[in-house]
Amino acid sequence: MEELYKKYLSCGGVVTTDSRAIKGGEMFFALKGENFDGNAYALKALESGASFAVVNDGSEAASSGDPRVIVVPDTLVALQGLARWHREHTMVDGKRLTIVGLTGTNGKTTTKELIRSVLSKKYAVTATEGNLNNDIGVPLSLLKIRPETQIAVIEMGANHPDDIAHLVAVSEPDYGLITNVGKAHLLGFGSFDGVKKAKGQLYDYIKAHGKAVFLNMDDPDLTGMAKERGLETIGYGPDFWRTIVLPSDSAHPFLRMAIPDKPGSVSEDENLMAVETRLVGSYNAVNVLAAVAVGLHFGVSLDDALQAVASYEPSNNRSQMLLTAKNSVIVDAYNANPTSMAAALDNFANVSEGKKLALLGSMGELGADSVDEHRAIVRRLGGISSVCLVGEEFRKALELEGTPENVKWFESSAALAEELKALKVSGYTILVKGSRSQQMEKVIPEL
């Protein structure tokens, strides 16, 4: 690993797993999956300008005799080992780089981006790009840490029981933050208790090796998980901090809050400070407070933290408000599960008066609970002017629940887009929400 690390540094610390992305000088890792084998492109990567190619023993590239080919038993294990080595050997003022690791059912990426924005007021920050939070994305994120990095924020996702345990072993976080635990990926986790156990592996690691966790003190599941492990906690939360979430309307569609000037203080003699955001949904209030809590712990002033929150612009179909020529569109279509879908609908009920249209795609990976969870969502739709449901799981739910008068079903988002194009929808406040597999963003051009 030491020799591999020297070669990594000679590449300027630039690695890639995509032979098509070679620009010159990179270290290429030939990863192998069920439907692809990067070993087949290793020599091409070298021809394109990569400095080294890390390949699996037994592959054709391994026997090429090219001195730039590095042969290992398992390229993914080598990538993860290199990332861990880099994490352990990156120093700031003579001490190991501080890493904040976060996971959760909902809000991971938004919270991570808010934390990045807040910490950047004082530090050079390296953070997970987008949602590269799996067994490949986490090591790639760690390998983007540079000598000037002063603190890192690493997002970790999980679909299976031991995913977080594997990711914390690579990233070795000093602090942990779980945004929430809810019903998602039940097919992989088996149950809600399975979700808690899997996400709780971050807390387990912090208890054994880290310093403290940032904890939403208003969340009974998280506080219970932290208490049973005896963790050192840094608290936050809307009720815990006596935060006021201001109502949204057509004039002020974004999340607005008022936060005490001394968050967490027991004193009642506090002034309230306005928090303006570009986020949609009161459910994002706790994500904002999480970022503020992290910033305050690391010495960012409250004024700077709130400025950072105000400047953050959501992207990639997460908690976005699009004001088109015809409609006001809330786009939260990157993913969906029962917890986030219910929160989005609750928020939608309070966003605006007038005509409302909800465009909802089916939720994935819910296993045996899928039909019941979709039926529960159908029962929430009574107060919305019009609803369009997409996907097979909603069809099954409607068969059992009955189809309300305000609801129409579509086989796919493409079919729904055709209907919307013909109807020329105008003058509505619209919610677009669904699992990634439903590709609900396809309807946006027709709104």
Residue-wise pLDDT tens digits, 274-294:
999 999 888 899 999 999 999
Distance from C-alpha of 347 to C-alpha of 367, rounded to nearest angstrom: 27
At 325, the amino acid letter reads A
What is the topology classification, in CATH, of domain 320-446?
A: Protein-Tyrosine Phosphatase; Chain A (3.90.190)
Helix (H, G, I), strand (E, B) or coil at 339: helix
Computed over every residue of the chain, the mean pLDDT equals 93
Q: What is the pLDDT of residues 104-120, one digit of tens each?
A: 988 999 999 999 999 99
Mean pLDDT, residues 37-44 taken together: 96
Contact 134, 185 (CB under 8 A): no
Tell me the pLDDT tens digit for each residue of 53-79.
Answer: 999 999 999 999 999 999 999 999 999
Please state, in angstroms and rounded to a whole number, the distance separating the CA atoms of residues 422 and 108: 37
State the span(s) of the chain assigned CATH 3.90.190.20.
320-446
Q: How far apart are CA 259 and CA 273, in angstroms?
A: 5
pLDDT in tens, 358-401: 999 999 888 889 999 999 999 999 889 999 999 999 999 999 99
CATH architecture for residues 2-73: 3-Layer(aba) Sandwich (3.40)
Does the 90-311 domain belong in CATH 3.40.1190.10?
yes
Higher confidence at residue 157 or residue 350? 157
**DSSP category for residue 145:** -
What distance in Å separates the CA atoms of residue 272 and residue 286, rounded to the nearest whole number? 17
What the block records as the tokens of 288 is 């904002």
- From-to residues of CATH 3.40.1390.10 in the chain: 2-73
Strand pairing category for 233-236 and 244-246: unpaired
**Amino acid 249: pLDDT:** 64
More confident residue, 172 or 193: 172
Distances (CA, A) of 420 to 330, 423, 436: 16, 5, 20
Residues with Cβ within 8 Å of residue 217, at least 6 apart in sequence:
223, 233, 235, 236, 237, 239, 240
User: In the numeric block, which tokens belong to residue 267?
Assistant: 């004193």
Which pLDDT belongs to residue 250?
63
Q: Could you give the CA distance from residue 53 to residue 38 in angstroms, rounded to a whole number?
A: 10
Residues of the chain with CATH 3.40.1190.10: 90-311
Q: Give exposure, 164-175, as e/b (b: 16+ Cβ within 10 Å).
A: bebbbebbbbbb
